[in-house]
Structure 1
Amino acid sequence: MTTATAWGEDHFVAGNLALDFANTVYRRWPEPGADLFTGPDTFAAWLARAGLLPESPRGSATEAALAEARTLRALLWTVFDAHREGRTIPADAFAGLLDTARRSVTDLTVHADGSARPRGPRGALAVVALNGVALALDPPPQGVRACDRCGWFFIDSSRGRRRRWCSMKTCGNQAKAARYRSSRP
Structure 2
Amino acid sequence: MQDRIFGDREKAMEADYFRKEEARLLEKLRQNAKIDEIAEALRDQLQVNDPDLLVAVRDLGINAENASAFLLAPLVQVAWAEGKVRKDEQAAVLKIARDRGIEEGSPSDGQLHEWMVNRPADELFKASLRAIKAGLAVLPGPERHERIERILDGCRAVAEASGTEIAHQLGLGTGVSKSEASLLDSIASELRSRD
Q: TM-score, normalised by structure 1?
A: 0.29
Bigger Rg over Cα: 2
Structure with greater helix percent:
2
Structure with greater strand percent:
1
Q: TM-score, normalised by structure 2?
A: 0.28
